[in-house]
Structures are given as structure tokens and as C-alpha cells.
Amino acid sequence: MYAAPLPGWLFRTGSILVFKYRRFACVVISVISMEHTPLKKHKHPDNVKPQPPVLYGLVALLLRPYLRLRYGFRRPKSLPIRGERGPVTVLGNHASNIDFLFAVAALYPKRLNFLVSAYFFNQKPLCYLLRFMHCVRKEQFTADVAAIRDMRALVSAGGSILLYPEGEVNGTGRTGAFPESTARLCKLLKAPVYAVRTKGSYLTRPKWGPSRRRGRVETDVTLVATAEELPTLSNEALYARIQAGIFQDEYAWQAQARVPFHAKKPAEGLHLMLYRCPKCGREFTMRTEGNAIFCTACGNRGLMDGYGFLSPAGPEDVIPASPLAWVDFEREALRDEMRAPDYRMAAPCSLQYHTDAHALNHVDVGEGVVTLDRSGISYEGTAEGAPISLHFPLVDLYKLPFAAGRRFELPPAARVTAIRTHEPGAIWKFVLALPLMKATVQAAADG
């Protein structure tokens, strides 16, 4: 169903309320938008229904002024989805954990249900809120038949679905790989497919940064395929259209937009991703302070400007032009190392479980060593006082969801499992290395 826009007087009233109670709104939205990983499936199926028009309209009403004031959000001038009276499938790039808020504000009056990681549904009281919001639960990076069933039922009932095919917030500002099965899912849903591309959200809340930055966030919305086109497109052609619709390179966009993003310590936390010095090549020697990133081994030093770009602090320093360019440098170094058939990466670590249904954090339950090689990821050590050996075959691994400097998570198992390397920068190295290892093994198999 199509919800009519709310009257102007109600919009103005909502704007005043948001401004007056902006601190409370910020806390509520922050809780709702936390990112996490999957737990075991819930015992009872969720009753997923299309969003109620009045409540959803009020939420959208409050979001628009809040996002405009807090993040400099701008709605798209052209909204091709406005003419859609029935259900739609909306896909987006996932550069920050509040992207869905921008999508809600941009696409209203179209009402959207959200595809959400199963982890949320196993944390109380958040699970009650998600059910109240008619979210669809899905296990991360697995073929979840129940989630597909719920999405098809939702679309059949006239509801629209918003999903982020990357499956997690990317850490670099450039849209990452997503499963080819996304195209098959869109065909199963049989609804028009739209792409919502968010620009500036990564620079607003980078995954490695502890603080938010106010600058500007924009969205554009494009039609990927009509319902009539879906059966005529190959999976490869539809995938290519989706990829083109949601692809976003934040630094390429910023090179043209030149939007200042204000932060007191803009580089803080950047060393959790930029672990390798581009001058001396040593690993885990990078540190950050204020707007500076520097190597404790050779003294190499760079500065971050107000636009998020990097530059050498002095004539002898070697610094890539952006954090994304630095990550590309790390990726190439890893690719070179992996050419050795016996390459393996190991790090001392703590094993973590999610043990408290009322908390969002993982808890250390043991210590050992985590290893990545051509067979997969292994952990040898202890768990809850007993010896344990875990192995996750490479073929079963797609991505490693992660929190920069804190942990990376492993596929759904009997218990939610995560690894916290004792060297914080090694977490990103494992995350970066996994797809490279998969590509290396595939290339060797292909001859």
C-alpha cells in the first residue's frame, strides 16, 4: 500500500520535538542501529507484516529533521520509486550502521521492512522492538530458508523489503563483494528492484572511528529492474545491475564533493585498519593521535585533513592519499605473501562467546592461537577452562564480520563464536586476508 505524505503542520511539530529532545532521540537511534553477528535461530517464527502506516509515518517524520540537523542529510530530488503503488525490493550499499535510517527518510512515503541479522533477535529487550517493527530475521552469510519464506510472504502481503547485500558494514568506504544469490532472491520476490546509494555515511561514521563526524549525507535512488524485466534477465545481468546501482567509493565521491567532516580527533582509531607501514613495511607499529597517524618503528608520519584524505607530514614520509588507498596497499602485500603454497597466518588470541542474552558484547572464555591457511581458519586453545580445537573450512567461510580492534566473528555454530586477537590490528589483517586466501585457492584449483 502507498502511504500519503503527512500534513505540513504535523511535520513542523515533529521537527520541534526532535530538536527539543534530540539527545533522547540520539540515544534511542544509536541503540537500534548497533551492528552485530548471528546467534542461533529463534524458537518461534516471527509474524512479519507490512509496516503500519501511521506509526511508520511518525518515525519518518521525526527522522528527517534529526538526520538533517545531526548529519546534514539531503533527500534526493528525484525519487523514481514514488510512482510504485505496490511492494518493492530495495537494496543499498552498507557503509555505516545507520544507513537504514537514511533510506527510511529518503524513500518515505514508501514503507519498508528491514532484513536484520539474527543476532539482534536473540538479545533482550531489543528483540521485542525488532518484532514490533516487523523486521525479517536472517542468519548472516548463510542460505536462510526461513528468511526467504518470510520475505516472500511479506511481499505477497503488499510489504516492501530493504536489505543490504554486503551483509555487514564495510570497513573501507568502498562497496564490497556480495553473494551472487542476491540476484536469485530478487527474482523470487517478483517485485520491482530499486537501489538506494548512500554517499557520505562512511565518512560520517567510519567503522574504525570511535566518534561521529558531521558533514553531509546524500542518497540517490535508481530503478534496477521492473517486475516484468526480472524473468527476462539472467542472474549475471541482474547482479551486474545491482552492483552498478549500489556501488559507492566514498573517497572518489569526496574528491568531487569536497565536504568537510568535522571531528576533534579525525584519525583516531585509523591504525586498527592501517596496520602496515608503507615506508618500512613493518606490521602493527602504526598508532594514531589527533589528526596524525605514525609508525613507532621508523617515524613515518601522516596527517588527515578535514575531508578525510591523508598526506605526508614531511618530505621523507611515505603516506597513501586515503585510507582506502592504504588498504589497497595492504591487500597487495598480502596477495604477494600468499603466493607461497605453505603460507599461513597465526596470532595469539582470546576465544569469545556471546553468553548474556541481555548484553550485546562477547565475553572472553579462553586463550589460544588462531590460524588462517589454505584449509581454513583454526583455533587451538581453551574454552571455559577446557582444551578445545575448532576448525572452519575455507569453503564454508564467505566473510568475517568484525568490529575494528575488538573481534572478528565466525560462522553460525552451536554457540556464537568470535576471535579477539591480542594485537588489535591483526583483526583487520585476518578480515582482509580471508577473501584473498579463497581467491588464491581457487586460482590454484583452476590451474
pLDDT band at 307 (very low <50, low <70, confident <90, very high): very high
Residue, of 347 and 358, whose pLDDT is higher: 347
Helix (H, G, I), strand (E, B) or coil at 370: strand
**Set of cell numbers at residue 144:** 536462510
The CATH code for residues 8-257 is: 3.40.1130
| Of 110, 170, 162, 160, nearest in space to 138 by CA | 162
**Set of cell numbers at residue 314:** 614531511
Q: Mean pLDDT over residues 303-319, rounded?
A: 98
Distances (CA, A) of 350 to 128, 292, 353: 31, 30, 10
Q: Distance (Å, rounded) from C-alpha 269 to C-alpha 33?
A: 20
Residue 79, pLDDT above cutoff 90: no
Q: Mean pLDDT over residues 327-350, rounded?
A: 96
Q: How many CB atoms lie within 10 A of CB 199?
A: 22
Q: Distance (Å, rounded) from C-alpha 162 to C-alpha 147?
A: 13
- 18-22, 333-337, 393-397: least confidently modelled range: 18-22
Give pLDDT, residue 406: 95
Give pLDDT, residue 102: 95
Q: How many CB atoms lie within 10 A of CB 356?
A: 12
Q: Mean pLDDT over residues 96-110, rounded?
A: 93
Q: Mean pLDDT over residues 360-373, rounded?
A: 93
pLDDT band at 337 (very low <50, low <70, confident <90, very high): very high
Residue with cell 526480472: 230
Residue 128, pLDDT above cutoff 70: no
Residue, of 41 and 314, whose pLDDT is higher: 314
- Mean of all residue pLDDT scores within the chain: 87
Helix (H, G, I), strand (E, B) or coil at 10: helix
Residue 37, pLDDT above cutoff 60: no
Give pLDDT, residue 137: 79
The CATH code for residues 345-446 is: 2.30.29.30
pLDDT tens by residue, 254-267: 999 999 999 999 99
| Of 29, 37, 28, 51, nearest in space to 122 by CA | 37
Which pairing describes strands 112-117 and 160-163: parallel, antiparallel, or unpaired? Answer: parallel
Helix (H, G, I), strand (E, B) or coil at 365: strand
Q: Mean pLDDT over residues 188-207, rounded?
A: 96
Helix (H, G, I), strand (E, B) or coil at 147: helix
pLDDT tens by residue, 142-188: 777 888 899 999 999 999 999 999 988 999 999 999 999 999 999 99
Residue 12, pLDDT above cutoff 80: no
The beta strand positions in 200-329, using DSSP E, are 217-225, 286-289, 292-295, 301-304, 310-312
Q: For residue 222, which phi and psi values (nearest 5 degrees)? A: -130, 150
CB 247 within 8 A of CB 93: yes
pLDDT tens by residue, 277-301: 999 999 999 999 999 999 999 999 9
Give pLDDT, residue 116: 78
Every domain of the chain and the residues it spans: 8-257, 270-337, 345-446
Give pLDDT, residue 24: 33
98, 99, 103, 105 alpha-carbon torsion, rounded to 10°: 30
Residue, of 36 and 111, whose pLDDT is higher: 111
Give pLDDT, residue 121: 65
Give pLDDT, residue 22: 39
Residue 43, pLDDT above cutoff 60: no
